[in-house]
Amino acid sequence: MDILQNLLTTLEFIIQGLWITVWVTVVALVVGLVFGVLTALMRVYGNRFWRQVATVYSVVIRAVPVVVIIFILFFVIAEYVNLSPFLAGSLALGFASGAYQSEIFRGALQAVPAGQMTAARAIGMSKVQAIWSIVLPQALRLALPAWGNEATLVLKDSTLVFVVGVPEILRRTQQVSARTNEPFIAFGAAMLLYLGLTLLTTQFLGWVERRYRLQM
């Protein structure tokens, strides 16, 4: 009974970090989405210069561990603006995720049949109009499965912002473990919590995927 009691108190404390984890993930995913889609568009439709800029971003960032990116950006940001660890950490995580998302969206854009662009231009759309209202909506749907996978990766990588002091699940777990001196229960609880979180996320993404699947 003691252990169960312990587990519950521990969980209660850790759960306060759950919302931070969720928010870090959401902010990072949105930032990454913006970076990812923009750079993917640059790589597929941009001129030589923009293509190269976007490619270097995606290739270089993906070759460096996310935790290193977070450190660099955290210190760079701190040099110029006064952001909370939460915002700095989320932005950095998002900037890193953007490089992976860029790769996902580039593949998706290229997977949209060329005839779609031709047909859009044929009814008098400009190139930008065609990209925005014909190609991109299809590409986003094609990207969904891979994007969902990236979302769960970001959810797990969000523990990394712990290094810059964001009180998310892992940091709360460390605190409670130090206080109760029962690290096994603390980290066990954190693992269970995360397991629930990722399973829930996977279920949700599966539902979204089925709902928005393209019939081609």
159 binds other proteins, rule: CB under 8 A: yes
Q: Which of 8, 128, 195, 214 binds other proteins (CB under 8 A)?
A: 195
Q: Round to whole Å and give the CA distance between 202 and 157.
A: 16
Q: Residue 4, interface with other proteins (CB under 8 A)? A: no
Instruction: Please identify which residue in 22, 156, 165, 209 interacts with other proteins, judged by CB under 8 A.
Output: 156
Q: Does 58 bind other proteins (CB under 8 A)?
A: no
Smallest separation, CB 38 to other proteins (Å) = 22
78 or 119, CB closer to other proteins? 78
The answer to the question of residue 187 lying near other proteins (CB under 8 A) is yes
CB of 201 to other proteins, least distance (A): 10
End-to-end CA distance of the chain: 56
Shortest CA distance to 41 belongs to which of 115, 114, 136? Answer: 136
Cα–Cα distances in Å, from 130 out to 51, 82, 104, 186? 19, 40, 20, 53
Calpha distance 115→2 (Å, rounded): 66
**Residues in 70-109 at the binding interface with other proteins, rule: CB under 8 A:** 71-72, 75-76, 79
Which residue in 100, 102, 73, 103 sits closest to 88, CA to CA? 73
Contacts of 216 (CB under 8 A, 6+ apart): none
Q: Total residues at the site for other proteins (CB under 8 A)?
A: 38
Which residue's CB is nearer to other proteins, number 14 or number 139? 14
- Per-residue interface string for the shown chain with other proteins, residues 162-181, x marking contact by CB under 8 A: xx-----xx--xx--x----
In the numeric block, which tokens belong to residue 164? 């810059």
Work out the angle at residue 50's Cα, subtended by the Cα atoms of residues 49 and 52, and round it to the nearest 5 degrees.
70
The site for other proteins (CB under 8 A) is made up of 60, 63-69, 71-72, 75-76, 79, 156-160, 162-163, 169-170, 173-174, 177, 182-188, 190-191, 194-195, 198-199
